[in-house]
Amino acid sequence: MALPRVVAVASGSPADRAGVLPGDELVALDGQLPRDIIEYHLLTDQETLALEVSRGGVELSLEVEREGGEPLGMEVDAALFDQVRTCDNHCEFCFIHQLPKGMRKSLYVRDDDYRLSFLYGNFTTLTRFTEADLERVLTEGLSPLFVSIHATDPEVRARMLRNRRGATSLRWLRALLDGGVEVHGQVVVCPGVNDAEILEATMAGVLDEYPELASVAFVPLGVSRFNHEETMRPHSGAEAATAVDLVEEWQEIFLACVGRRLVYASDEYYLLADRPFPALETYGAVAQHDNGVGMARRFEAAFSGRGGRLAGEEDDGEEGPSGFFRSVEGAPALGYRAPRAPGTVSFLPRRDAGATVLTGEYGARVLRPLVSSLPGDIEVVAVRNEFFGGNIGVAGLLTGVDLAAVLAGRPEGRRYLVPDSCLSGGRFLDGTALEDLPRPVEVVPADGASLRRALAPAAEMVLAR
């Protein structure tokens, strides 16, 4: 079990006044060593706190005093201080198994940890969930959680997870719902495996066994060129259309039975089926933005100045979904949620320069009709994902090498914009840094309002002429 290490202390904060320094390791908080950032948050939520820290091998006792509601002002380096609970499934559709060698080690970690589900919205299969975990979730109110369902038929689910516990682990889903935990589900649909009749049976199973679920997202299988599973293949357009039809048919059934749609097809399904996206208001308060549910309509509404918030969603001052880690003091956004590159302009040619928005193939289909409404020399370029290959077309998986190949053939003097969703800690998934690109680029937060603001200079110049 690693000691949590302090990485930042806010000037003038209670931690600063107590003498805490970056680099200190927390040995104990009021005599206890927290297992994770959740316990850390609970232990530090008091006016007086006794800290035991290790500084250069020397243990020190510090006392923190804070006024009610005053932030502690201390940031630590990890979300979990004990070991990450790794996944013991061997899913043939797992995207981590489809990664090439030589990438960052953190990208190959397959977690199945309910704490990361709570903190960051990661999906857990519950195959390693225990009675002790259930007790902690219910006692500490760790809600919402995100659960990978894939199929409600026990045999199908066990076969998909390649884990016999897959047949029984959904009993924990039932227990969580009985305990009042908000749970969002996910089904990765694999053609010929859990689609068609099995997909319909899964929706019937959700209605029969888990109608309290907050939402269930159905997403199509992603297949990279590094996939070695012969049975895994991309959807055809006809298969995608069938899946969309099934989901929309069952939405009406859920509306009639439980008063809400509950099941949703991801935006990628609508693109594959060449169908228009549902209206924004049909999504309700669905917290499945990372699965692409309602993302396009949200983006469109924000881009056009209509807000883009889903019904019932609180305005926390942030664009996009608000993971719990934003409200937990000191919880670092690790992995794919590490700080993106700064959303400020890193290179700005003259204001009348044309602008090129670089995005994935799916994103380009969403952005082109929006950008075409703006005056000026603005274009959207779809960057094909040659790095991963296959049917990978989302903007979040763009890599520096593919962006570099496109930029190398583009003229100098233009503005080039890329979404921050393809960066983590300022680097692309392939390890490329922004400075490695052959043209300077501007990194823009991946929401409609931010893109509109970033493109405003080009539009304003035309309107002013």
Indicate whether 343 pLDDT > 80: no
- Average pLDDT (186-203) is 97
- DSSP H helices, 98-195, are 114-120, 131-140, 154-161, 171-178
Strand order across the 263-265 sheet: 145-148, 183-189, 215-220, 263-265
- Kindly state whether residues 302 and 369 are assigned to the same domain: no
Is the per-residue pLDDT at 409 higher than 70?
Answer: yes
Which of 76, 105, 138 terminates a domain? The answer is: 76
Q: Identify residue 97 by its one-letter amino acid code.
A: H
Tell whether 157 and 274 lie within a shared domain.
Answer: yes
Alpha carbon 171 to chain centroid distance? 26
Domain containing residue 153 = 96-328
Give residue 79's pLDDT: 87
345 domain-assigned:
no
Question: Is cis: bond before 144, omega within 30 of 0?
Answer: yes
Distance (Å, whole) CA 147 – CA 213? 10
User: Does pLDDT of 277 surpass 80?
Assistant: yes
Least confident segment among 112-121, 287-296, 311-320, 437-446: 311-320
Both 324 and 287 in a single domain?
yes
404 shares a domain with 292: no
Residue 456 and residue 415 in contact, taking contact as beta carbons nearer than 8 Å: no
pLDDT of residue 104: 76
pLDDT averaged over every residue in the chain: 88
Q: Are 71 and 10 in contact (CB under 8 A)?
A: yes
Sign of the four-CA dihedral 302, 307, 313, 318? positive
Residue 135 has a pLDDT of 98
Question: How many domains does the structure of the chain reveal?
Answer: 3
| pTM, rounded to two decimals | 0.88
Q: Which tens digits make up the pLDDT trace of 6-43?
A: 999 999 999 999 999 999 999 999 999 999 999 998 89
pLDDT of residue 307: 67
pLDDT in tens, 247-257: 999 999 999 99
Tokens (6 digits) for 111: 């977690």
Residues 361 and 225 in one domain: no
Residue 378 forms part of a structural domain:
yes
Q: Is the pLDDT of residue 382 over 90?
A: yes
Tracing tokens 């006809």 back to the chain, one arrives at 238
The pLDDT score that the predictor gives to residue 324 is 34
- Provide the pLDDT for residue 102: 80
106 plus 48 within the same structural domain: no
Instruction: Express as a percent the part of the chain with pLDDT over 70.
Output: 88
CATH number of the structural domain spanning residue 22? 2.30.42.10
Taking residues 431-451, what's their average pLDDT?
93
Retrieve residue 387's tokens: 């790095």
Question: Which of 287 and 20 is assigned the larger pLDDT?
Answer: 20
Is residue 298 pLDDT above 60, yes or no? yes
Angstrom distance (rounded) from CA 366 to CA 221: 20
Residues 157 and 239 in one domain: yes
Q: What pLDDT sits at residue 352?
A: 65
Q: Is the pLDDT at 322 greater than 70, yes or no?
A: no
Whether residue 234 lies inside any domain: the answer is yes
Are 217 and 251 members of one domain?
yes
244, pLDDT greater than 60 = yes
Q: Measured between alpha carbons, how far is 379 from 358 in angstroms, rounded to an integer?
A: 9
Q: Which CATH number do you get for residue 416?
A: 3.40.50
Which among 263, 163, 277 is positioned nearest to 216, based on CA atoms?
263
The pLDDT of 303-316, averaged and rounded, is: 61
Q: Please say which residue of 41, 76, 111 terminates a domain.
A: 76
**Selection from 2, 5, 1, 9 nearest residue 56 by Cα:** 5
Q: Per the domain annotation, does 71 fall within a domain?
A: yes
**Are 317 and 423 in the same domain?**
no
> Which pLDDT value is given to residue 341?
53
Select the more confidently predicted residue: 83 or 64: 64
- β-strands 145-148, 183-189: how paired? parallel
265 with 304, same domain: the answer is: yes
Residue 202 forms part of a structural domain:
yes
Q: What percent of the chain has pLDDT over 90?
A: 71
What pLDDT does residue 337 have? 47
Give CA–CA dist 396/445, Å, rounded: 12
Considering the domain architecture, whether residues 323 and 437 belong to the same structural domain is answered as no
pLDDT (average), residues 402-423: 94
- Which CATH number fits the domain that encloses residue 296? 3.20.20
- Does residue 332 surpass a pLDDT of 80? no
Q: Is residue 257 part of a domain?
A: yes
> Would residue 337 count as lying in a domain?
no
- Answer whether residue 156 is part of any domain: yes
| pLDDT score of 336 more than 50 | no
- Which whole number is the average pLDDT over 114-132? 93
Q: Looking at the structure, tell me whether residues 115 and 258 fall in a common domain.
A: yes
User: Using one digit for the tens of pLDDT, what is the confidence trace for 199-243?
Assistant: 999 999 999 999 999 999 999 999 999 999 989 999 999 999 999
Provide the token pair at 271: 């693109």
For residues 28-39, one letter each, b for 16 or more C-beta atoms within 10 angstroms of the residue's C-beta and e for the rest, the string is bbeeebbebbbb
What integer pLDDT is reported at residue 427 of this predicted model?
87
